[in-house]
Amino acid sequence: MVLNIKLNQVFYTFGVMLGLLTITSCEDPQDGTVANEADEIVLSELDISQIELDQNNPGNPVATFIWSEPDFGVQASENYRLEFSNTESFDNTAVVANLRGITNITLTTTELNSAAGEVGLPPFEWNTLYARVTTSLGAFDALPKSSNVISFSVYPYFNYPFKELYFVGPACASGWNNNNNNPALFRSADNPDVFTYTGLFNADQLKMLEVKGAWAPQYGEGGPGELVPRPTEDDPDPAPIDDFTTTSGYFTFTANIRTLEFTVEPADGSVDSLSSLSLSGSALETPVELVQYGVGGGVFDPHIWQSSQPVSLNSGTVTFTANGSQTWGGETAFSGTATEGGNPIEIVVGDEYEVWFNDLTGNYMFIPLNF
């Protein structure tokens, strides 16, 4: 039955959004129509109950979710939100997709794997993932209603959620070569959008790249302290950062790729560098010696240390050994700040890694190469 109201068209708009209008007669359709609470919305069971995700085929379609279209009693496009959780009660919820007027969606390997990681499913284990669809009406999400809950087993691979940044340009040792042992900035363990680098810079220009060997995504300079991104090769090329052109020396460069801001501050590089640095622990079969950073066999900055080749690490822990006897560790995986006597650093998943260490700050980076 269609329900009608004795209100003008302006109040009808608010009635649809809020569902709070005085209902009069179902015989008089002249003044407008009130949205009803939706009928039951049914999310269909998947055709497959177990999904093993293959990281070698990230774009493959792996699961199609189909649900019924509810009847709100008005001519309007419904909003749909596909949600996942690691609990049937949806205590921890990830919104996988927002759709309007569409009652199905097919997820790729990458999309399903990312969603599983977002709700906290561990990699390389079979676990249950729960799904439901929430529907609503209008821009203000009026009359929300959730579907039944379905579940299926999923075997995700490791979901690496971080970005990297690398310098490129003659202010650093790599020059304008996007794949010339470009130095990695050190990502904050507290805020993955913040990167710092305390080290030696030439009196020249530079930019930042997210991927070595590619010119996009990249970041250049707009106004003072303002980063300008170049997301794709089709986007305009931003101007280089020229805050280092006055004099060479040690500086601390900090960038926030969310707020698109950067700062440059003088730093003290006169302290003695370490005489040696190595990596050892349960994640390694044998210790690995790190080398001071440079390009073409020379040393550019003795305070920046790196693995000369990719390091094969298993799941486990590692520590840095400085000057042959000082053991340094850290509290966070992938990036953080090491302290002398600190806990071993966790290697969450086995892979080949770039390893970087700054002996001025204790910052470290473990960059997986195959995720």
Contact 247, 267 (CB under 8 A): no
Output the pLDDT for position 31.
38
Work out the pLDDT band at 60, boundaries 50, 70, 90: very high
Please give the span between the terminal C-alpha atoms of the chain, in angstroms, as a whole number: 55
pLDDT above 60 for 36 = no
Work out the pLDDT band at 339, boundaries 50, 70, 90: very high
pLDDT, average across residues 225-232: 97
User: Could you give the 3-state DSSP secondary structure of residue 2?
Assistant: coil
Beta bridge partners of 241: 206
Q: Tell me whether strands 277-280 and 316-322 are parallel, antiparallel or unpaired.
A: antiparallel
Task: Give the Cα separation of 365 and 195 in Å (integer).
Answer: 11
Contact 317, 346 (CB under 8 A): yes
Output the pLDDT for position 245.
84
**Cis ω for the linkage preceding 217 (within 30 of 0):** yes
Domain ranges of the chain: 1-34, 40-155, 166-266, 277-368
The count of C-alpha atoms lying within 13 angstroms of the C-alpha of 319, restricted to the half-sphere facing its C-beta, is 15
pLDDT, average across residues 102-118: 93
The count of C-alpha atoms lying within 13 angstroms of the C-alpha of 281, restricted to the half-sphere facing its C-beta, is 22
**What are the structure tokens assigned to 15, written together?**
């009635």
Alpha helices in the chain, H assignment, sequence order:
9-18, 109-118
* CA 119-121-124 angle, 5° bins: 150
Q: How many helices (H) and strands (E) does the chain have?
A: 2, 28
Matching fold, domains 40-155 and 277-368: yes
Length of the chain measured in residues: 371
pLDDT, average across residues 121-145: 86
Work out the pLDDT band at 74, boundaries 50, 70, 90: low
Give the residue with greater pLDDT, 172 vs 7. 172
Task: Give the Cα separation of 368 and 58 in Å (integer).
Answer: 17
pLDDT, average across residues 259-270: 97
pLDDT above 50 for 14 = no
Exposed/middle/buried for residue 60 (C-beta within 10 Å: 0-12, 13-18, 19+): exposed
pLDDT above 70 for 24 = no
Output the pLDDT for position 38.
54
How is domain 40-155 classified at the CATH fold level?
Immunoglobulin-like (2.60.40)
Lowest mean pLDDT among 67-71, 72-76, 177-181, 328-332: 72-76
pLDDT above 80 for 123 = yes
Work out the pLDDT band at 124, boundaries 50, 70, 90: confident
pLDDT, average across residues 165-193: 97
Task: Give the Cα separation of 68 and 47 in Å (integer).
Answer: 16
Work out the pLDDT band at 10, boundaries 50, 70, 90: very low
Output the pLDDT for position 144.
83
Query: Quick one: CATH architecture of 166-266?
Result: Sandwich (2.60)
Average pLDDT score, the chain: 88
Beta bridge partners of 51: 154
pTM of the model: 0.70
Give the residue with greater pLDDT, 349 vs 254. 254
Task: Give the Cα separation of 103 and 300 in Å (integer).
Answer: 58
Q: What is the DSSP letter of 175?
A: B
Task: Give the Cα separation of 342 and 318 in Å (integer).
Answer: 11
The residue type of 360 is L
pLDDT above 60 for 23 = no
pLDDT in tens, 282-338: 999 999 999 999 999 899 999 999 999 999 999 999 999 999 999 999 999 999 999
Contact 244, 251 (CB under 8 A): yes
Q: How far is CA 214 from CA 57, 165, 198, 217, in A?
A: 22, 12, 24, 8
Q: Tell how far CA 138 is from the center of its chain.
A: 30
pLDDT, average across residues 58-84: 86
Output the pLDDT for position 145.
86
Domain 277-368 has CATH 2.60.40.3620: yes
pLDDT, average across residues 255-259: 98
242: left (phi over 0), alpha (psi -120 to 50) or beta: alpha
Work out the pLDDT band at 120, boundaries 50, 70, 90: confident
Output the pLDDT for position 206.
97
Output the pLDDT for position 70.
82
Closest to 371 (Cα-Cα) out of 46, 8, 32, 55:
55
The residue type of 157 is Y
Q: Tell me whether strands 316-322 and 93-100 are parallel, antiparallel or unpaired.
A: unpaired
Task: Give the Cα separation of 334 and 345 in Å (integer).
Answer: 9
